[in-house]
A = this chain, B = another copy of it.
Amino acid sequence: MTDIVTYMEALGRAAREAAPAMARAPTGVKNKALSVAAEGMRTHAALIGAENERDVAAAQAAGLDAALVDRLTLTPERIEHMAQGLLAIAALPDPVGEISGLAMQPSGIQVGRMRVPLGVIGIIYESRPNVTADAAGLCLKSGNAVILRGGSEALHSNAIIGRYLREGLAAAGLPPGALGLVETTDRAAVTHLLHMQGEVDLVIPRGGKGLVELVAREARMPVLKHLHGVCHVYIDDDADAAKALAVAVNAKTQRYGTCNTMETLLIAERRADELLAPLVCAYRAHGVELRGCPKTRDRVADMVSATEEDWETEYLAPILAIRVVADVDEAIAHIGRYGSHHTDAIVTENWTHAQRFLREVDSSSVMVNASTRFADGFEYGLGAEIGISTDKLHARGPVGLEGLTSQKFVVWGDGHIRR
């Protein structure tokens, strides 16, 4: 890699030139590219495994920790799962070309909005090589070109997966330049990618907070990001006890490391005596460490004190902060002050409290009587997910194919002129 700038500019130019062909590609052609790629991965699963083994061996030799090595490893099952993922994306409806809101205007023209691809999408991600196939599949199906920059420890794995994706594009008669893969470990490539505002229309970081913050700070193009998820469940005065227990336990314990896991439980003071005991019992049975506000600790023995920092922390671990609040107002205020605008839920039978929570909590997902763990593209019926956006502009919440597109106005007349 003698000249990283020349290399990145060539990738950017190829993607930009490929974008119009991707944008006008019929659905069947895009689906063919994805299914040929999936077949290539299945046929050459042993070869993918061998290339992946090079990355895994290097990671082990470098003493990387076991969790990272596990995320890096492509077993035969994971390769098959990757191929099935591409076929599942091929089976999704194509968002491109849909026209909505077409209506006649007083002047006689008809005006509607057509859904169109964004152009070129950059994806920057970390160690898991299956993201290469997933992210590329979503971008290509939505009619975009894509430039992928995966983790340097997955270089060989990403390269071989990229090869079959490009073979799929070629087999469908689409320009292979629509899939750009940054095949260098030089970190200058990331900086350069983030400065290619003429070639890249949107960049999506997928990874830890450090990566997302780096991308948000450096990128000269729009960024689709989620920084973190400090999610709440609020058990209201008028909560049904059984629903409260089910939702509050599930939201914490169904998985610990996900961004839609509850990190703080809020409970109305009127229900604290009744509900804290069974909740604490359930959490402790799951091995969850509890940290409480003074009113919680008054009611529960042997609980450490929650600090100001706890209310702002995404633990991603079996730890839960608990706070007793006066009512729905105090719950909404707590979430507004400490939350991360990701996903928050109320458990209540009270119509007005539910409506107020839905309206006033400013998060990408607001829920009534459902576990925060449902915040997910598949659970929401989007069919797939490239990430969960906590931004307000463009796409918000779980982002599927539609979130990788934009809209343009279409206008038709019959020789209409403006007077």
Contacts and interface: CB of A to CB of B under 8 A. Distances in A.
B415 A246 contact: yes
A137 interface: no
A381 interface: yes
Interface string A383-409: 000000000111011100000001111
A369 B413 CA distance: 5
Main secondary structure of the interface of A (DSSP, over half): mixed
A111 interface: yes
Contacts of A354: 412
A409 B397 contact: yes
B415 A109 contact: no
B111 A411 contact: no
A109 B240 CA distance: 17
Contacts of A254: 417-419
B119 A392 contact: yes
Interface in A102-116: 103, 105, 107, 109, 111, 114, 116
Given A20-B336, A336-B20, A379-B109, A368 B417 contact: no
Interface of A: 20, 23-24, 97, 103, 105, 107, 109, 111, 114, 116, 118-119, 201-202, 222, 240, 242-243, 246-247, 249-251, 254, 336, 345, 347, 354, 356, 358-360, 362-371, 373-375, 379-381, 392-394, 396-398, 406-419
Given A109-B374, A114-B358, 15 more contacts: A23-B359, A24-B360, A109-B370, A111-B381, A114-B366, A243-B415, A254-B419, A347-B415, A368-B411, A369-B412, A369-B414, A369-B415, A373-B418, A394-B394, A397-B409
